[in-house]
Amino acid sequence: MLKVKNLYKSYKTGNVNYDVLKNISFDVKKGEFVAVMGPSGSGKTTLLNCISCFVPFEKGEILLGGENISGLNEESLADIRNQKLGFVFQDFMLLDGLSVIENICLPQIIADKDVTKMEVLANKLCTTFGISHIKDKYPAEISGGEKQRSAVARALINKPYIILADEPTGNLDSKSCRAVIDSFVQAKKELGATVFMVTHDSFAASFCDRVIVLKDGEVYTELTKTTNRIEFMDRLLDTLKKLGGDDSDNE
């Protein structure tokens, strides 16, 4: 579903080039729930932004559903962003002037889809994520967890290849955090969704199938859940502790 091959990305500050991503390679299979973790500054957001087609990269390849996005023009990248990617952001990015159901329909409206069909799809997603009772409310009238579940529903309405989530639990209390993670797990189980999430939160990451750990712009290690969530979280915390990062602060 997602293939990253020998990816390099640098930023130029003055005359100096800083290598931020160095020879990153990994795959995410259809229906997998994968997290990216690592210390602050290790390149997680930059990696997500490259996959999101938001920032260009110098070397390497990113394939989405088999299609190589390197070298595509801005118009094609915009199409990919709208039709093949679903986004869930830390601060929800719901439009205040639209109701929950209108927010969920937004990617379909942008893609100029049929209104009746989009309403059917949006209502189904509301049922799946248990937000039918708030679908006519506005973002200011719903809780943080409900906002995130609405954002997950919106990310899924165009049936994207993959959902990209940037710190989706970062602003939430533990109950709302759990609601968001449950909605990803549900999207994976019931809709076969593929989810790729950047997080500092080992509790959230412990619900994933696999965690890619970055250090100084390189893949330090990949951890796969083999037995149960608690054992996986212990291994994650051990690994993050060895890195000396700031990611073991959620327990």
Cα(104)–Cα(153) distance, rounded to whole angstroms?
6
41/60 with CB nearer ligand ATP: 41
Residues in region 4-63 near ligand ATP by CB under 6 A: 11, 13, 20, 38, 40-46
Among 126, 194, 124, smallest CA distance to 163 is for 194
47/151 with CB nearer ligand ATP: 47
Q: Interface with ligand ATP includes 208 (CB under 6 A)?
A: no
Strands 162-166 and 59-64: unpaired
75/251 with CB nearer ligand ATP: 251
146/201 with CB nearer ligand ATP: 201
Residues 6+ apart with CB under 8 A from 208: 33, 34, 35, 195, 197, 225
Q: State both tokens at 76.
A: 């094609």
- Least Cβ distance, residue 46 to ligand ATP (angstroms): 3
- Least Cβ distance, residue 43 to ligand ATP (angstroms): 4
Contact set with ligand ATP (CB under 6 A) = 11, 13, 20, 38, 40-46
